[in-house]
Structure 1
Amino acid sequence: MLRYFTLVSLLALCRGFGSITTFPEGSVEPLPLKTNDAPKSRIVGGQTTTIANYPWAVSLQHEWEEYTYDTIHFCTGTIINKDWILATGVCALMIESENVTIRVGSDYFHEGGTVHEIEYAIFHPEFNETTQDYDLALLRLNTSLTLSNSVQAVKLPSLNQNYPEGTIFSMASWGASVFLGDMTTQLQYISLPTITTELCQTVYFDRITDRMFCSYEEYVGMCIGDTGAAAVVDGVLIGIASWDYACSSYGYPGVYANVSVMVDWITEVSSSSSPAPLFCLVAALAILLRSEA
């Protein structure tokens, strides 16, 4: 049943709700890294962990009657404070059409912890659904979280904080372990090194912007359900899993929203107890106009 769900998810995610991405019409298809270009390291990925090690990780899920459990996991989110969850803009788009909830404080996406409803989403005003630039959104919860050892806010970076090539970060999520493989019900973590923008652009060309950074490790990376997962260094958030090509198949880097260059927006929105409805309307209208341009 899990494999069936993964196949169905893949079809949905290729339309925009996940880490597998399609490229704008007329653009050049990505070219994989050559073996001698790929950085080598001894880090190990895909290991089981507990939510106490990544207490900011939350599961975004919605109901599906034909699934094994009451709800299915489709994206990962990150706790910013007791009222706000950071997600990608692409994942937040699904909230408009689905009854999305989040589960916090559990090793498993289908049980344990507590479940909370989302009141509304605020997209980054420059978010571009097609290119996935500025791929951030903040989700306002209906009820505040109760913080504990298994429910904690992540630490935010300084504005424009720089992390050089080869910086090792960790990321935890409930996404699929391999392309077209089974979803993982229990939280898994991986560790990955960053690579230079120039090297990443040899694969994805000019689609990589200053609001993104890339990582690569042979056969290790994000996949279905990992979008929105926090990339952290010593407990500090440096990025959010945004997109990749074919579940980080050999030669294809993962791409992350560069949080440090957008952290001022995160702080501004999440520090407000109740943002003005006009602010939300203007942001949504700007995204709509760009998508129709």
Structure 2
Amino acid sequence: MVGNSLIIILLANTCAASFATPNIPLLDGKIVGGSNADILDYPYQVSVQEFYLHICGGSIISTKHIVTAAHCTYETIASYLNIRAGTAIRNSGGVTIDVSIIYQHPEFSNVTYDYDIAVLELVSDLTFSDTIIAISLPNENQQLIAGTESVVTGWGATEEDGIGSNQLLMVEVPLVSATDCQAAYAPNYVITERMLCAGFTEGGKDACEGDSGGPLAIDGLLIGVVSWGAGCARPDYPGVYANVPNLRSYIAEVSGV
């Protein structure tokens, strides 16, 4: 924090620069305070890549569709992108498939990061196996209870301003109520109904560069997509995720899932 202005970090590897306008979140997402993860335990996790290099995380929802963050696909085109699935190592192993179509939410704002969700359609089907499996999706507007433990996974850095991890990481964080999250980010940032929050008051564990677009899950159910936050794992500032239950209808509309 500099003076009275809050530095917000967005969670993608491709955008780490500061913005002059204080209400624009700054991108920087990574797993902090976590531990190594086995792809067998999180077989829905993929690396979203640009020219075969990791930029964001994503979640398999069908043999041909991946959910990620809209800020990961903003101002890019499908022919630049591919996904890597079936491996816990960021840029090797598993299988790679190119992206054919980007369904970026039409109401996504690159200023507020509202509606921060996109669906990628692949050029060919994934073959499901022990290391490649779709994650279940919640019901539309499914209620989420503050304090519920959730798990976030990704290849982001392990400390603020650090470098990305080559090994998939995971960390467990409790959900935070919308009221408490809004109080943390007031007055400069609005927590909308399309966002949900998770983290510890004392900080220390968080998704925060390279984790953007990755899954926040409860008991194998995709409930959030890594979006933005104030730095990484800072006390009093929970991580902010796209709220999958409240964006469920869009996913169904573009993917049929």
| Common fold by TM > 0.5 | yes
Residue 129 of structure 1 is matched in structure 2 by 110
Residue 49 of structure 1 is matched in structure 2 by 37
Shift of 1:178: 0.6
User: Which of 188, 194, 215 is the aligned partner of 1:230?
Assistant: 215
Question: 1:61-210 maps to which residues of 2 (within 5 A)?
Answer: 61-63=49-51, 71-93=52-74, 95-96=76-77, 99-205=80-186, 206-210=189-193
Relative to structure 1, is the Cα distance of residues 226 and 11 closer, same or farther in structure 2, using a 3 angstrom cutoff? closer
How many Å separate the matches in 2 of 1:79 and 1:28?
Answer: 29
Relative to structure 1, is the Cα distance of residues 104 and 240 closer, same or farther in structure 2, using a 3 angstrom cutoff? same
Q: Match for 1:246: what amino acid?
A: G
Q: Match for 1:58: what amino acid?
A: V
Cα deviation, 1:115-138, whole Å, max 9, x if unaligned, reads: 111112011122112111011111
Query: Where does structure 1 lack aligned partners over 5 or more consecutive residues?
Result: 1-8, 16-20, 30-43, 64-70, 273-293
Shift of 1:94: 5.2
Is 1:215 the counterpart of 2:204 in the alignment? Answer: no
How many Å separate the matches in 1 of 2:75 and 2:178?
Answer: 29
Query: TM-score, with normalisation over the residues of structure 2?
Result: 0.85
Shift of 1:258: 0.5
Larger Rg: 1
Residue 5 of structure 2 is matched in structure 1 by none
8 Å Cα contact 2:13/2:210 also seen in 1: no
Identity %: 34
Is 1:269 the counterpart of 2:254 in the alignment? Answer: yes
Q: Cα RMSD over matched residues?
A: 2.5
Whichever structure has more strand as a proportion of its residues is: 2
Shift of 1:171: 1.3
8 Å Cα contact 2:33/2:204 also seen in 1: no
Cα deviation, 1:150-187, whole Å, max 9, x if unaligned, reads: 11111000111111110110111111111122321111
SS in 2 for 1:239: strand
Query: TM-score, with normalisation over the residues of structure 1?
Result: 0.75
Whichever structure has more helix as a proportion of its residues is: 1
SS in 1 for 2:101: strand
Query: Where does structure 2 lack aligned partners over 5 or more consecutive residues?
Result: 1-10, 26-31
Relative to structure 1, is the Cα distance of residues 112 and 220 closer, same or farther in structure 2, using a 3 angstrom cutoff? same
Residue 15 of structure 2 is matched in structure 1 by 13
Residue 254 of structure 1 is matched in structure 2 by 239
Q: Match for 1:266: what amino acid?
A: I
Q: Match for 1:13: what amino acid?
A: C
Shift of 1:250: 2.9
Relative to structure 1, is the Cα distance of residues 155 and 28 closer, same or farther in structure 2, using a 3 angstrom cutoff? closer
Q: Match for 1:153: what amino acid?
A: A
How many Å separate the matches in 2 of 1:163 and 1:128?
Answer: 24
Shift of 1:13: 1.5
